Amino acid sequence: MPAITATAPGKIILFGEHAVVYGQPAIAVPVNQVRARAVISARPDQPRGWIHLQAPDIGLENNWGNLPRDHPLIVIIKGVLNAAGIDQPPALTVRVTSTIPIAAGLGSGAAVSVAIIRALSEFLGRPFSDNEISQLAFEVEKLHHGTPSGIDNTVITYEKPIYFIKDSIEKPGKKEVFPVSKPFTIVIGDTGTPSPTAAVVRDVREAWQRDRITFESLFESTGGIVNQARAAIETGDNTALGPLMNENQDILENISVSSGKLAQLIQSARQAGALGAKLSGAGRGGNMIALATREPAGEIANALSTAGATSTIITTVNG
């Protein structure tokens, strides 16, 4: 049997992170320049039920029986076997590689899940629908993040710009794929500081519990920004996105999820001519994004590198 390969992109949240956990809409887009890749190969020399895992990026190579049951890769594979109703699969090797930086707000965990689920379900002869893939990846996200909104698994499964509203903790949420009237360019800059999403989301929850009135109002304002951004993208009024990004960043600073390094990169992107800039994802570290319509994106990327970004990606958002 030939090896089965599937890949999944990274993602950025353009508008609405954190507020989305509290029921407000958010907009996310795939980032195709970075991807996770899963290759499933048959091992006819081994008995049924034998599974070997290779994840060279994290230095992992082992038989699955030797790994803890709650290891994220085991949870993903078990989830696929359960959903496919297969107890003892034919012997196989799962190899995962990824160019998506870890804990950087680019969706690396969800992309690894989606790539494995897609490849393994196909290998088993039961290819899952996008809906099933997203739902299963959401279950794994809960292990990483505790209370994820479901936006990462959704945008990474469907690989299209999405407007997303969280559902319950049982379901991955409601997505609308919407038209991008005119493509626009985003420059992504990495602070190089890993920032585990779960910790930041927990801090925001504690702050919200202490002062619900202020936080609800900040989240509602974020929802307003997201709706204006969607309208601007749909009508091709891309320059309007810049000020909206800046407004969203002000709110993210107010809820204490920015950082000195993020602020420095955001400032340097704006000085280099970006129409707007903000953090993307959980914040505290990870990545920031800048809208590059007026200036060549390369100049903004250079300015970000000079200001200390450890890597930059230039990506175009289109329908």
Angle among Cα 193, 194, 199 to the nearest 5 degrees reads 125
Under rule CB under 6 A, residue 100 binds ligand PMV: no
Least distance (Å) from ligand PMV to the CB of residue 86? 30
Alpha helices in the chain (DSSP H): 72-84, 108-123, 130-145, 151-158, 197-210, 212-235, 241-254, 260-271, 297-306
Least distance (Å) from ligand PMV to the CB of residue 200? 6
CB 16 within 8 A of CB 222: yes
Exposed, middle or buried, 150 (CB in 10 Å: 0-12/13-18/19+)?
buried
Contact with ligand PMV (CB under 6 A): which of 10, 79, 107, 285? 107
Contacts for 170 with CB less than 8 Å, ≥ 6 apart:
none
Contact with ligand PMV (CB under 6 A): which of 4, 7, 8, 17? 17
Contact with ligand PMV (CB under 6 A): which of 153, 154, 197, 315? 197
Q: How many residues bind ligand PMV (CB under 6 A)?
A: 16
| Site residues (CB under 6 A) for ligand PMV, limited to 264-283 | 281-282
Q: Contact region for ligand PMV (CB under 6 A) — 1-9, 14-22, 72-80, 248-256?
A: 14-22
| C-alpha span between 135 and 189 (Å, rounded) | 30
| C-alpha span between 203 and 236 (Å, rounded) | 36
Q: Contact region for ligand PMV (CB under 6 A) — 37-45, 126-134, 147-155, 267-275?
A: 147-155
| C-alpha span between 11 and 282 (Å, rounded) | 13
Contact with ligand PMV (CB under 6 A): which of 75, 151, 277, 313? 151
Tokens matching residue 258: 């920015």
- Please identify, using beta-carbon distances, which residue of 147 and 235 lies nearer to ligand PMV: 147
Contact with ligand PMV (CB under 6 A): which of 35, 37, 95, 145? 145
Contact with ligand PMV (CB under 6 A): which of 25, 79, 90, 148? 148
**Which residue's entry shows tokens 């309208």?**
231
CB neighbourhood size of 65 (10 A): 10
Q: Contact region for ligand PMV (CB under 6 A) — 11-19, 66-74, 83-91, 299-307?
A: 11-19
CB 297 within 8 A of CB 305: no
Under rule CB under 6 A, residue 162 binds ligand PMV: no
CB 175 within 8 A of CB 162: yes
Say whether 152 is catalytic. Answer: yes
- Please identify, using beta-carbon distances, which residue of 149 and 246 lies nearer to ligand PMV: 149
Among candidate residues 57, 130, 152, 203, the one labeled active-site is 152
Positions that interact with ligand PMV (CB under 6 A): 13, 17-18, 20-21, 105, 107, 145, 148-149, 151-152, 197, 201, 281-282
Catalytic residue ranges: 152
